[in-house]
Chains A and B, each alone.
Chain A
Amino acid sequence: MADLVFPPAIIMLVGALLIALLGGRWRSLLVLATPLGTLWAIWQLGDGVLQSAPFLGYSLELVEADKVRRLFATIFALMSFAGGLYALRQATWYELSAAYAYAGGAIGVCFAGDLITFFLFWELMALCSTLVIWSAGSDAARRAGLRYAALHLLGGVLLKLGIIGVILHTGSIDLRALTLGSPESWLILLGILINAAAPPLAAWISDAYPEASPSGSVFLSAFTTKAAVLALILMFPGTKLLIVVGLVMIFYGILYALLENDMRRILAYSIVNQVGFMLVGIGIGSEMAINGAAAHAFAHILYKGLLFMTAGAVLMQTGKRRCSDLGGLYQSMPLTTVCAIVGALAISSFPFTSGFISKSMIAQGAADQHLVVVWYLLTAASAGVFLHAGIKFPWFVFFQKDSGMRPAEPAWNMRAAMVLMAIACIVIGCAPGPLYALLPYPVDYVPYTTAHVVTQLQLLLFAGLAFFAMLPWMKRTLTISLDTDWLYRSLLPMLLRVWLRFWKHIDRGIDAALEQLLALWRDMVIAPHRPSGWIAATWTTGAMALGVLLALTLLIWRHLM
């Protein structure tokens, strides 16, 4: 059975290559067919190591499958399809090709059975996602992409050092659960956490994602952070530190999103917030919590992709990205508005949307383990999600004041993709059974109890009341918010400038000293050897005779003594 396995990532990568080579209808066909072919291949995979290859004396496990790996690969393939449909008519061929190679990297990570394969696909993701950002073509995208690449290469270096450490210490390249304690496991954790957008290195996500093209940001929102979530599930389940990191991410995302004015940057911050929920689940580590983290990743990719699609549609049709420039768009873009509201309700875990049946499992996991403080914080954060993404995004983009703009709905393929995603959010929310069946552990959880629905509605609706009650305090300002990226965007260049100025002084000093040395050399060594120098001068006979006399006297005197 092991000899007839299609590595799903390879299908995606070949598709990406062909998309770059072919044009016209063939490209459109490939954009839609490649993810579906990949999905088919994913579901042909049984459990265990299915394909291996020798490499430098190691046996690479190119394809290793189990339930959670298949789950993540499935949603990556589905998201590629929806993203491809959304991008079909307006994205450039190089953006599509890069995005599909990026998806191929993510799917490769899903099925990587060893650390070397894992690392290779991981870096492929970093490379191709940078290309996706650059595909937007603007100067801002070029610079943000460079910063993004630098940070992810740094994460890659940490990861690689950790992997080398593991191989040196255990002699095995097997990808398995690690315990924190050795330096190499810390390095691997750090490398993964950079991709998960954990503060203090989270700024890349709000820096780079909003600079991508409308379709580029849809792809970007799906893969990098969620591949990191899968890596954490595989390598660090039950690592308590992740609970703390996750909670920090949750509140970081809420607070920064509340301050933000750029609609896609609000969504980028809320990715950090949502991935925080997943990290808390992984940190708790019980079957319920891990199931919750995996389910939440699945649900999240769909509604976050949907939200980025609606934001992209608005950007395409209006050319505006700031909340303060938008508003009142529901009048001419009703379909986009409805889709955005569905996505917003799903991210807020409203009953009968996908977020409700996934996020609540994480909170249940916390309650089961009697993590009282964690549970209260998660509950407060759930209200906060409705605040910063659930209401803020649709309200400021589609409602609030009338901006006077009456843009048309986007092209049919973008509408189709949005409707598809919105339907998925609602169907999963109403019938969670099929998703629960895909989760890594057997699900013993009933999301729809009257008590749960009632308490969740209370929580969210009163959060909504708080939003409208405090609306004057939420007034958008034309600002950005400082983050740790200030260190490398502002402080580092400043230090460099100071150093260069300082260096100029030293440089001048050295130049002067060299000048003097040279002068000395000229006067003492070169000048005497010149034709006019004293060494080359002709001596008088008398002086010669005196010299010889002195030499002879010295000789005789030496001889006599």
Chain B
Amino acid sequence: MSQPEPARPQQDPHWLQRPANIRRLWWLFAGILLLTVAAEFLVDLHPHFSVDGWPAFHAIFGFVSCVAMVLVARLIGYLLKRREDYYERD
């Protein structure tokens, strides 16, 4: 079904790969992040408990818990990671 693509001449990189555009995307992303936090002050949050009503709680909680998970994964990785052929070699 898939045929090997003929070697194509050097083209312009896809717009998503140009450094200038990547920088723009980062700014866009930062803008959206700020917006989501700012929007919080315009709506009534009706939190379930106490802490989840703090300003920007979800932003901070989401970021911190993800960083924690990546770190924990890294840590258990030292313990659990093995070479791919671990079970194949005799």
Contacts and interface: CB of A to CB of B under 8 A. Distances in A.
Contact of A462 (B1, B17, B40, B62): B62
Given A254-B69, A402-B17, A451-B43, A465 B84 contact: no
Contact of A481 (B2, B5, B81): B81
Contact of B86 (A258, A388, A451, A480): A480
Interface string A401-443: 0100011101100000000000000000000000000000000
A455 B84 contact: no
A473 B36 contact: no
A259 B75 CA distance: 10
A476 to B, nearest CB: 11
A478 B70 contact: no
Interface stretch (A277-285, A375-383, A531-539): A375-383
B49 A375 contact: yes
A473 B1 contact: no
A459 interface: yes
Contacts of B77: 259, 479, 481
Interface string B53-83: 0001111111101110111111011011111
Interface residues of B, number: 49
Nearest to A383: B62
A372 to B, nearest CB: 6
Nearest to B56: A458
Interface string A489-524: 110000000000000000000000000000000000
A459 B1 contact: no
Contacts of B46: 451
A474 B5 contact: no
Contact of B87 (A461, A465, A473, A490): A490
Contacts of A481: 77, 80-82
B24 interface: no
Contacts of A399: 16
Given A383-B66, A460-B62, A467-B66, A454 B33 contact: no
B66 A466 contact: yes
Counting chain A CB atoms within 10 Å of each CB, the highest count among B5, B16, B58, B83 belongs to B58
A408 B2 contact: yes
Given A258-B73, A458-B37, A461-B32, A478 B84 contact: yes
Contacts of B58: 379, 455-456, 458-459, 462
B1 A384 contact: no
Nearest to B46: A451
Interface string B3-38: 101001000001011000000000001001100110
A408 B1 contact: yes
A78 B52 CA distance: 38
A171 to B, nearest CB: 46
A375 B2 contact: no
Counting chain B CB atoms within 10 Å of each CB, the highest count among A411, A466, A489 belongs to A466
B14 A331 contact: yes
Contacts of A466: 62-63, 66-67, 70
Contacts of B16: 330, 399
A554 interface: no
Contact of A406 (B5, B44, B59, B81): B5
A316 B70 contact: no
A466 B87 CA distance: 33
A460 B62 CA distance: 7
A402 B3 CA distance: 18
A511 to B, nearest CB: 28
A306 to B, nearest CB: 20
Nearest to A372: B49
Contact of A316 (B1, B8, B56): B1
Counting chain A CB atoms within 10 Å of each CB, the highest count among B16, B29, B59, B65 belongs to B65
B60 A454 contact: no
A481 B83 CA distance: 9
Interface in A315-354: 316-318, 330-332
A56 B46 CA distance: 58
A126 interface: no
A6 to B, nearest CB: 38
A332 B8 CA distance: 13
24 contacts: A255-B76, A259-B76, A316-B1, A316-B2, A379-B61, A380-B69, A383-B61, A384-B65, A411-B1, A454-B43, A458-B36, A458-B59, A459-B58, A461-B29, A461-B36, A461-B62, A462-B33, A464-B29, A466-B66, A466-B70, A470-B70, A479-B82, A481-B80, A481-B82
Given A451-B44, A480-B82, 12 more contacts: A254-B69, A258-B69, A450-B39, A454-B39, A461-B36, A461-B59, A463-B62, A465-B33, A470-B66, A479-B77, A482-B82, A483-B80
Q: Which 4 A-B pairs have the closest CB atoms?
A: A466-B66, A380-B65, A258-B73, A458-B58
